[in-house]
Amino acid sequence: MSRRHYRSRLLTWVLNSGPDDPVYNLYLMLGPLLILFVVLVGRNSMTSVLVAGYIVGFVVYTIYNVSTTLEHPDWVQHP
């Protein structure tokens, strides 16, 4: 399996397995990279702002998403 093919499989999995939302897909891929970044760079004002922005952005987008979504996926089986 070529490295390129492996990357495309990973990307395909990310795009196909989530809630079909490009913002959340981006969040999933950025999360581990951001963790790696704070591990390598350490705690400073820049990394703190980046991490705070990541978390606040997630919360704000989720609120925005639920307030603007009118169609509900009825095919999802409620537990």
Partner 1 sequence: MRSDTIAPLGRDLGWMLRVLGWLILVSVVVPLVWGEYYAIPGLVISGLVPVAIGWGLSTAFADADSPDKLHGMMIAATGWFAIAVFGSLPFLTVAWIATLTPGGLGLATPPLTESLTVFTNPLNAIFESMSGFTGTGLTMAEDESTLPRTLQWWRSLIQWVGGVGVIVLTTAILARPGSGSLTLYKSEARSQKIHPSIVSTVQTIWWIFLLFTSLSILLLWLAGLPPWQAINHGMTAISTGGFSVIDGSIGAYDSVVIEAVLLPIMIAGGIAFPVHYLVLQGDLRGLYTDLQTRWLAAVLVVGSVFLWLLVSPAYDSVMEAFRYGVFQFVSALTATGFQTATEPAPLSLAVWPTSALLTLVFAMVVGAAAGSTAGGIKLIRLIMLVKGIRFRVSYVFYPDSTVHRLWIDDRVLDEEEGPREFGEAAIIALLWFVFLATSLFVLLMTLPSETYPLEMILFEIASAQGNIGLSAGITGPESLPTAGKLAFILNMWIGRLEIIPILVTLRALFWRGGIYE
- Residue ranges that bind partner 1, judged by CB under 8 A: 13-14, 16-21, 24, 27-28, 31-32, 34-35, 38-39, 43, 48, 51-52, 54-55, 58, 62, 65-66, 68-69, 72-73, 75-79
Q: How far is the CB of 63 from partner 1 (least distance, A)?
A: 9
Residues 19, 60: Cα–Cα separation, whole Å: 17
Count CB-CB contacts under 10 A for residue 76. 7
Residues 76, 17: Cα–Cα separation, whole Å: 14
Q: How far is the CB of 4 from partner 1 (least distance, A)?
A: 21
